[in-house]
Amino acid sequence: TERIGVLTGGGDCPGLNAAIRAVVRHGLESHKLRVHGFRNGWRGPLDVTAQTLTLESTRGLLHLGGTFLGTSRTDPIAEPDGVARIHEALEVYELDGFIVIGGEGTLSAANTLAAEHGVPIIGIPKTIDNDLGGTDYTIGFATALDIATDAVDRLHSTAESHNRVMLLEVMGRNAGWIATHAGIAGGADSILIPEHPFDVHQVCRHLKRRHGSGRSFSIVVVAEGAVPADDTLNLTDYELDQFGRPVLGGIASSLRPIIEAQTGFATRETILGHVQRGGTPNPFDRVLATRMGVRAVDLAVAGEWGQMVGLVGGEVKPVPLAEATRSLRRVPEDHYRAAEVFFG
Ligand code: F6P
């Protein structure tokens, strides 16, 4: 191996720069590779445009949020001549393969390109949602969890001062990792996640019981993709985006007036939104990104393409790229049960 390309695709998250830095530094210093950076996810290879990354270009990056290469949700398979353009990028830059740092969309495309079109790829899993297969943690989740937990802590004090129900909507369209773990860490009184369709009457009864037993406030953490178990409340009427996904804030805004009406308690909603994806990565994400970046380069040098690096039982290991997106990794029952113990 002499030359590799690197790109970041999908929604950004804290730790991407740390991963790119690790790929470049380890590639250049340990293996004497040339590393080319493609901008804006798959858009870069599709445009057949790359920049040479130097040690200098990675200085001061470790602690910065976002991705200095830029990102996009471009799907190369859906683009006209997409696959041919990717092959062209490999040829023009004389690359042995790509290191692709991405989430569900980016790594699904990577898997198709690798399995069906012979594109040499190593994947690195990132998403604040933590819902990819083949890894215990994805880059970005731990930092998003810190931010969400801080929000729960802050809502606690104002909820208590005003005797209110505080509804916090966090990200997680298909899985409730951030909601469950921030809820456990912050001591939430109810957690609503996509894995467990909820009954809003039951939630309201629970809040009333809690307040009836002397507590004057409650915190409800809801994942953006949480769904009601029944449709009697028209909760499914909230706005959908162009992909048929609930618009951010939809579930919290729909729930607030219902909770207020059914419980009689003043209720406020907070939609945490993209704050969860911004800013400096925490030490866990910096270390995970660095370990994964280093291992990905070693796999590329060994010619073990078609793999993703996963954190499995504390070790960073190669797993088949297909594992990442074969099925979404949802919150296991025991995590949710551990949270429920404290709902009282
Ligand atoms: O997949 C990461 C994620 O942050 C989801 O939790 C959220 O639903 C989505 O991206 C938001 O996407 P966008 O960047 O298009 O607003």
Residues 6+ apart with CB under 8 A from 188: 152, 168, 182, 219, 220, 221, 339, 342, 343
Distance between Cα 173 and ligand 1 center (Å): 8
Q: What's the one-letter identity of residue 320?
A: P
Distance between Cα 325 and ligand 1 center (Å): 16
Name the 3-class secondary structure at 191.
strand
Which protein residues touch ligand 1 with a CB less than 6 Å away? 11, 103, 127-129, 171-173, 224, 277
Q: Identify the residue whose C-alpha is closest to ligand 1 atom 3.
A: 11
User: Could you give the C-alpha distances from 25 to 17, 54, 100, 300, 339, in angstroms and in order?
Assistant: 12, 8, 16, 14, 41
Amino acid 304: pLDDT: 97
Q: How do beta strands 50-53 and 34-38 pair?
A: antiparallel
Give the count of beta carbons closer than 10 Å to the beta carbon of residue 55.
Answer: 11
Distance between Cα 129 and ligand 1 center (Å): 8
Q: Identify the residue whose C-alpha is closest to ligand 1 atom 10.
A: 11
- The radius of gyration of the chain's CA atoms, rounded to the nearest angstrom, is 22
Separation between Cα atoms, residue 211 and residue 218, nearest integer Å? 8
Amino acid 228: pLDDT: 87
Separation between Cα atoms, residue 204 and residue 226, nearest integer Å? 16
Pocket test for ligand 1, best of 67, 128, 276 (most atoms within 8 A of CB): 128
Q: Which ligand 1 atom sits nearest the alpha carbon of residue 104?
A: 1
Distance between Cα 11 and ligand 1 center (Å): 6
> Has 203 been labeled as part of a binding site?
no
> Has 269 been labeled as part of a binding site?
no
Q: Identify the residue whose C-alpha is closest to ligand 1 atom 8.
A: 173
Pocket test for ligand 1, best of 277, 325, 329, 330 (most atoms within 8 A of CB): 277
Q: What is the DSSP secondary-structure string of 215-268? A: ---EEEEEETT--BS-STT-GGGS-B-TTSPBPTTHHHHHHHHHHHHHH-S-EE
Q: Which position has the token pair 């969860």?
A: 276
Distance between Cα 288 and ligand 1 center (Å): 21
Q: Each residue's pLDDT tens digit in the chain (344 positions)?
A: 699 999 999 999 999 999 999 999 999 999 999 999 999 999 999 999 999 999 999 999 999 999 999 999 999 999 999 999 999 999 999 999 999 999 999 999 999 999 999 999 999 999 999 999 999 999 999 999 999 999 999 999 999 999 999 999 999 999 999 999 999 999 999 999 999 999 999 999 999 999 999 999 999 999 999 988 876 556 555 666 766 666 788 899 989 999 999 999 999 999 999 999 999 999 999 999 999 999 999 999 999 999 999 999 999 999 999 999 898 999 999 999 999 888 87
pTM: 0.96
Residues 6+ apart with CB under 8 A from 78: none
ipTM of the complex: 0.95
SS (H, E, C) 144-175: HHHHHHHHHHHHHHHHHHHCCEEEEEECCCCC
Amino acid 230: pLDDT: 73
> Has 337 been labeled as part of a binding site?
no
Separation between Cα atoms, residue 340 and residue 187, nearest integer Å? 10
> Has 277 been labeled as part of a binding site?
yes
Closest-CA residue to 176 (of 125, 130, 238, 243): 130
CB 128 within 8 A of CB 175: no
CB 173 within 8 A of CB 224: yes
Q: Identify the residue whose C-alpha is closest to ligand 1 atom 11.
A: 11
Pocket test for ligand 1, best of 173, 239, 271, 275 (most atoms within 8 A of CB): 173
Residues 6+ apart with CB under 8 A from 12: 65, 66, 67, 71, 277
Instruction: Give the residue numbers annotated as catalytic, written as ranges.
Output: 129
